[in-house]
Structure 1
Amino acid sequence: MSTLLAPSHTAVDKIPLGRRIEEIKREKGGYYSNVAMAGRLGIHVETLRFMLKGKREIYTFEFDKIAIDLKMSVERILQEDIKEEVAHLSGDLKECKNSAESIQRALRLMEAAQGISEIHYALTRLGIAFRNAYQFTDSNKVFKDSHQLALKMQEHYGETDALYSNVYHLIASFTAIQDYVTASKLLDEIMPFFEAIPSRLSAISYQKAKIEETNGNFFTAKEYAIKSYQYAEQSGNHVTVARTQLNLAHFHYVLSEYKEASELLVRAIEGLENDTRTQLIAHKELGKTLLKLELKEQALAQIQLSLVKAKDLDWKDMIGKLMILMSKACGDPSYAETILNDTTNSLRIRYLASKCLLEHFKTLNDGANFLHYSKITEGLCVDFADVLDEGEL
């Protein structure tokens, strides 16, 4: 790119520069009408309009004048001033760590945001931070606010990417607070925006499957998962297809259709060659499924392979889950004990380890150890279902 030209998009949220300027102008009020601003800049009003609509490039010297007129730094308009902060926050959000710190960081970025596009993306990061901290009511409120901005972005610019991403998060937040009726209505409302995009129809169908699953309607959930798989095949994207195979395998699993689940997981693993983390999830799920099929040697091979990969990725929660599965596969409680005794593991993972140990000693009719781990499990979370059926494992 020539240095004579200003960047075409912002550094963080990739907002088109013309749109970014237009949104800041609109926020600042009538003093920044096109006519008034063009007069101060010494350019024709149509030239300014073309620049803002992306129909004409903006030269660096013009952008400098615009920044001065807006009484903002070039760095603030281009989001260069928040680049490192957002990168730090995004890393923490992806790894689901430093929840309290992430919320504070996201709030600071929210306060600095200007224009509906930047505010929308700032709200999205804040909503994810609240969700990671299990503050689901706050997360839902934030995502509802960002939804209104995403609708405006769709209306003003014909942009569906922000709306699609927002709906994905918003549906999950409604599900977390158990408002399934609103979640279903929202999915039906936004469906027309994505009728010609099979990959997104696939994702929406999967969201419906998750809502039905949460309501205990497992057969209906599986039907939506099948639709999701079919839409994915229409998309022609083999990675999307593989992910929907993984998703569909889950519903076969919860319905105790382990053979069908294992077959889908094998195919998913092949298709996820370039998606290491999702492929690792599929390997882990195959290990669980093979245990249900009582194919312990094959299950152990999957779990050991997955454990090596999880350690390479330094994926702590996944390592914990796989160590628990190692105890199930080997009949050796030491793996789960290691996870339970490591207080740096999440409470949920330690709970799963405790449940695994509880089941192990119950099978051995070891009353003393059963009572010991009963107390620990109860202290973490009371639930006596089969550990292999735990959705978190």
Structure 2
Amino acid sequence: MSTVEYTASSTLAKIKLGRRISELMTEKGDAYSIRAFAEKIGMNRETFRQMLLGTRRIAPSELELISKGLNVSPERLKQEDTFQKEQELVKVLTGKKRTKVMLIRANALAMELVEVAKGMTERGNSLNLLGRVLFVQERFEEAHQTWLTAYEYAKSVETEFDDKQLLYLVTSNLMLTSSIRKEYSQIEEMLKLVEEVFSDDPNKLGRAYYTRMKMYEDRGELVQAKKLAYRSLELFEQTNDKKQIGHALINVAHYEYIAGDYKTSARLLVSAINTVQEFEGILILAVKEYVKSLLQLRDYDMAMQVLNEYESLAQEYPEYWGRLQVMQTVVRDDPSYAESVINNPNISQTLRYLACKSLMEYYFLKDDGESAIRYYEKSRMLSGTKSEFLNEEGF
């Protein structure tokens, strides 16, 4: 059983024009103070200050003056020149189907947005999007480093404008890549910042506790990890966000399963299934974990009932379908289900290997050594292992 990870996403937010001008001035240095820049473009300082604060409308002729003074086009200043590219990129990232060609295009679009970005907010947002593309491509180290750069902009945006949205998105994504990479050297300072800035936000605190949970799990400190998982659940329950609550229920069930408390694990997973009915990608995971707990409890009747109920849903998720087929072999005492996984080229090699292992055990318990050896040989072929003893600890 594996824990569920959270992701955060956003489009490139349109920055208010006054703030956008301020950011570009700041980026150009001290020579672009309000006084100096107003004089440069021949505008009254107080009038210009009101424009930056958003209390006075900027006329097209004034926008032209400001753009020229900043050496950018009005379209670049208003972010109009990147709108179509952003929409195309977001469509790929939020779509259910992403081909290799689509991801290559998404990467090119994200790089273009990063290259033309100006000002701390746009730079941070564009880097966050690039990180999302790299993450989807499973280039986790590059995604992490990209988000670390975005994190510096996000901190500046929060300090300068009291705008926490970018900080939330980037820290959420960094917490995710830290747990995937199992490398937490830079995470403590970030978690403390999240807990300070978002102290009254249970959703964001829940994500922070999730990251601490993963950190302790990777250290082998499962008792503490379980405590943090329950705390994360408590926080998400305050949000009434069914998706996040479902994630958190699966996580606490994971630790109860590891601890051998299969009854509690099953009870929590029933709650998760009821909670995430409208989120099929999470639902099928909860179903798979529930059946595992039921098998540990030897409750084969209930396991068969659940397998039948979600059979059509499982077929939409090949890897989960494969796992449930292997469990069908146990429930129905019929090896053909696991065999169908082994013979399915659309199933990952890892899962086909595990199906072989399950049939090795199945036939061993049936005292059919010849069949057990046959599946042992198949498992060796799928694993690519030539000398298992060489990798044994102590050899």
Same fold (TM over 0.5): yes
**Aligned-pair CA distance for 1:13:** 2.6
- With normalisation by structure 2, the TM-score equals 0.78
Which position in structure 1 is the counterpart of 2:151? 147
Which position in structure 1 is the counterpart of 2:94? 91
Cα distance, 1:144–1:249 mapped onto 2, change above 3 Å: same
**Aligned-pair CA distance for 1:152:** 0.8
Q: Which of 54, 76, 79 in structure 2 is aligned with 1:77?
A: 79
In 1, Cα distance between equivalents of 2:261 and 2:108: 45
Query: Unaligned stretches of 5+ in structure 1?
Result: 1-9, 384-393
Kindly provide the amino acid, as one letter, of the partner of residue 85 in structure 1: E
1:221-236 alignment, distance < 5 Å:
221-235=225-239
**Aligned-pair CA distance for 1:224:** 0.5
**Counterpart contact for 2:262–2:297, Cα < 8 Å:** yes
**Counterpart contact for 1:362–1:370, Cα < 8 Å:** no
In terms of mean alpha carbon deviation, does 290-299 or 250-259 score higher?
Answer: 290-299
Which position in structure 2 is the counterpart of 1:157? 161
**Counterpart contact for 1:89–1:105, Cα < 8 Å:** no
Q: Aligned residues: percent identity?
A: 24
**Aligned-pair CA distance for 1:17:** 3.6
Q: Deviations over 1:71-125 (max 9, x none)?
A: 3252771331323332244136x76763962544433332233322222222223
Which position in structure 2 is the counterpart of 1:253? 257
Query: Unaligned stretches of 5+ in structure 2?
Result: 1-9, 365-370, 389-395
Cα distance, 1:301–1:17 mapped onto 2, change above 3 Å: farther
Q: Which of 355, 370, 380 in structure 1 is aligned with 2:375?
A: 370
In 2, Cα distance between equivalents of 1:242 and 1:111: 39
Aligned residues: 368
**Counterpart contact for 1:327–1:335, Cα < 8 Å:** yes
Question: Relative contact order (C-alpha < 8 Å, sep 6+): which is higher?
Answer: 2
1:53 is the counterpart of 2:57: no
In 2, Cα distance between equivalents of 1:367 and 1:48: 81
**Aligned-pair CA distance for 1:232:** 2.7
**Aligned-pair CA distance for 1:225:** 0.9
In 2, Cα distance between equivalents of 1:139 and 1:334: 42
**Counterpart contact for 1:120–1:149, Cα < 8 Å:** yes
Cα distance, 1:161–1:360 mapped onto 2, change above 3 Å: same
**Aligned-pair CA distance for 1:355:** 0.9
Kindly provide the amino acid, as one letter, of the partner of residue 163 in structure 1: L
Which position in structure 2 is the counterpart of 1:16? 16
In terms of mean alpha carbon deviation, does 294-303 or 140-149 score higher?
Answer: 294-303
Kindly provide the amino acid, as one letter, of the partner of residue 267 in structure 2: E
1:212 is the counterpart of 2:211: no
In 2, Cα distance between equivalents of 1:97 and 1:215: 36
Which position in structure 1 is the counterpart of 2:176? 172
In terms of mean alpha carbon deviation, does 239-248 or 352-361 score higher?
Answer: 239-248
**Aligned-pair CA distance for 1:198:** 2.0
1:258-269 alignment, distance < 5 Å:
258-269=262-273
Which position in structure 1 is the counterpart of 2:7? none
| Bigger Cα Rg | 2
Which position in structure 2 is the counterpart of 1:353? 352
In 1, Cα distance between equivalents of 2:174 and 2:327: 33
In 1, Cα distance between equivalents of 2:284 and 2:271: 13
**Aligned-pair CA distance for 1:332:** 4.4
- Tell me how large the CA RMSD over aligned residues is: 3.5
Off by >6 Å, runs of 4+ in structure 1 = 380-383
Cα distance, 1:43–1:287 mapped onto 2, change above 3 Å: farther
Q: What secondary structure is seen at the aligned counterpart in 2 of 1:231? A: helix
